[in-house]
Structure 1
Amino acid sequence: MKIAVAGGRDEADFLTGLLLKNKHRLIVINDDRGYCEHLAAKYDKVSVINGDPGSEEILSDAGIRGFDIIIALSGKDADNLEICQMAKRLFSVKKTLCTVRNPRNVEIFKALGVDQVISAAYILAQYIQQPSMADIQQEVKVAPASEKNEN
């Protein structure tokens, strides 16, 4: 698959290594020149573009037209939405995926056309609300404070 990774630092580095192992064609776009140099030195089979991934010109220069996936990892939710919408509408990228800091943006971004939206807090909340967690909570009995002090 042809995949673009836009923004991010540790997440971008981790995904780049993982996706390369699976033989995907990658382009990484990042606005931090030093970080681009780090990624280019670490991953010799990856095209690394230094520039704002929220810029139409940079996305065009990166050659993402018709890519299978773009993954937006910027630290700003609004930037990730912009990257995904531009990639889909202007460059015909098939699937868009982004991370969000604000878990309330998960459903909003999906309604606005982002294919997959990931929020750590949202995932944790979903996990806690699963029936299996409720069963675990009922099974765990906490001793009253007076009993704890007797040991």
Structure 2
Amino acid sequence: MKIGIAGGREEADYLIGLLMKDKHRLIVINDDRTYCEHLAAEYDKISVVYGNPGSEEVLSDAGIRGADVMIALSGKDADNLEICQMAKQMFSVRKTVCMVKNPGNVEIFKELGIDQVISPVHILAQYLTQSS
């Protein structure tokens, strides 16, 4: 599969390692130049693009058009929504996945067309309410 990963640090590193084992084609976009240099040195078989993943030009230059999945791991919920919506609407990415900090955004983002919205706090709350 062709997978875009936008933003993130530890989360991105973990996903890259996991997805490389299954030989997926990865495009990693990050706005931290030093982190991009680290990724390029660490992983020789991925495409690493330095730039704002919320920019149409950066997404286009990264080559995400027609990707199977775009994963948004930015620290800001609104940025992740923007990245996923652009990926789906402008670049025909099949599935979008984003992390959110605010658990209240889970259902809203799903209603706005994001395929999978993940909130660690929301998952924890569900676990706690189901296990009692």
TM-score w.r.t. the length of structure 2 is: 0.99
Q: Distance between the aligned counterparts of 1:120 and 1:6, measured in 2? A: 18
Displacement after TM superposition at 1:128 (Å)? 1.0
Q: Name the aligned partner's letter for residue 14 of structure 1.
A: Y
Equivalent position SS for 1:44: coil
TM-score w.r.t. the length of structure 1 is: 0.87
Equivalent position SS for 2:16: helix
In angstroms, what is the RMSD of aligned CA positions?
Answer: 0.4
Kindly indicate whether residue 32 of structure 2 is the aligned counterpart of residue 23 of structure 1. Answer: no
Map of 2:95 onto structure 1? 95
Map of 1:122 onto structure 2? 122
CA offset digits 1:35-71 (Å, max 9, x no partner): 0000000000000000000000000000100000000
Q: Which runs of 5+ in 2 are unaligned?
A: none
Matched length: 132
List aligned pairs for 1:1-150, cutoff 5 A: 1-130=1-130, 133-134=131-132
Equivalent position SS for 2:49: strand
Q: Distance between the aligned counterparts of 2:120 and 2:64, measured in 1? A: 27
Q: Which runs of 5+ in 1 are unaligned?
A: 135-151
Equivalent position SS for 1:13: helix
Equivalent position SS for 1:128: helix
Q: Distance between the aligned counterparts of 2:14 and 2:127, measured in 1? A: 24
Structure with the larger RCO, 1 or 2 (CA within 8 Å, 6+ apart): 2
Point out the structure with max Rg over C-alpha: 1
